[in-house]
Amino acid sequence: MALSFLIGVLGKEIGLPLARKLVSGLVSGQDPASRVEKITALVKNGSTAMAAFQNTFGVVDFDKALTTAIGNGAKGWTYEAGREEYVQIEQIEGSPRLPTSLLREELNLNLDRIIRTRGSKDADINNYFIGLFRQWQERYVELIGDSEDSRITFKTVESLLDGRKKSFADVFRMLQKTGLGMAGAALVIQAALIATSTGVGIMVWITTAFVGIPMVQVGALAVAGGLLFGLSRMDFASSNAKSATIAVAYKLLDRCSNTKLR
């Protein structure tokens, strides 16, 4: 009875067919009683079913079972690969949960799956990453709607992931055209540098600037060429593009949440 309840709750988030396969894969060959009891308690205390299952079985085992349940869709090299494997979390009717929260969880879940199942060194990971963001952008418009901010942001994401050679200075200029502005663009650049452990000198410069120098002066330095000169000497790699894209998506959700709360 409890297991059926959990399948039903999880089914509301990812669909019943996938929920049945996922739960069957997780509890197969073991006594599920204690884990089912733990998941049930977490759900009744307000946790989403997805989070409760991940917490109970562990993220690695959960992702393995999820990948098995979905199947490996595209074979070999495919542009925008894996869109059919995208896991969509449904908004439960009557839930007070904000669409921005759901989209953030959906993005995190699918990013984790790509990293864990495709491997960070897999040559095809860029194509799965592009496919994920194409699908996520459609979900954003479906749940939140279209806006000038989202259109400009998504166009910037397209440019970040187009594979063309560019420097960090090129990306810095691109990011400023979105709702990030000068300060937000610099923070995204900083996040990309931290995530990929490159350009430590520039990263420290940005950190010092934002801690000890007013934003107006930071903008003046950028215009004068101090920041852009340093960034122009650094190539913007594929790994940087993925890190920056994730940061840009999070910032878009943050701006949307702040706008809705006003």
Helices (H), 71-199: 99-118, 125-143, 148-160, 168-176, 181-196
pLDDT of amino acid 73: 46
pLDDT digits (tens, 9 = 90+) for 48-60: 787 888 888 887 7
The pLDDT value given to residue 198: 56
The confidence score (pLDDT) of residue 217 equals: 46
pLDDT for 127 equals 78
Q: Nearest 5 degrees, angle CA 227-CA 230-CA 221? A: 15
What number of other Cβ atoms are within 10 A of residue 218's Cβ? 19
Ranges in the chain, pLDDT < 70:
1, 28-32, 71-82, 92, 94-95, 116-124, 194-234, 260-262
pLDDT of amino acid 180: 84
What confidence score (pLDDT) does residue 27 get? Answer: 74
Task: Return the pLDDT at 205.
Answer: 46
Scored b (16 or more CB within 10 A) or e, 105-114 reads bbbebbbbbb
Per-residue pLDDT reduced to its tens digit, 55-83: 888 877 887 787 777 765 444 434 455 67
Which pLDDT value is given to residue 148? 92
Angle (deg, nearest 10), helices 200-212 and 181-196:
140
3-state DSSP assignment of residue 105: helix
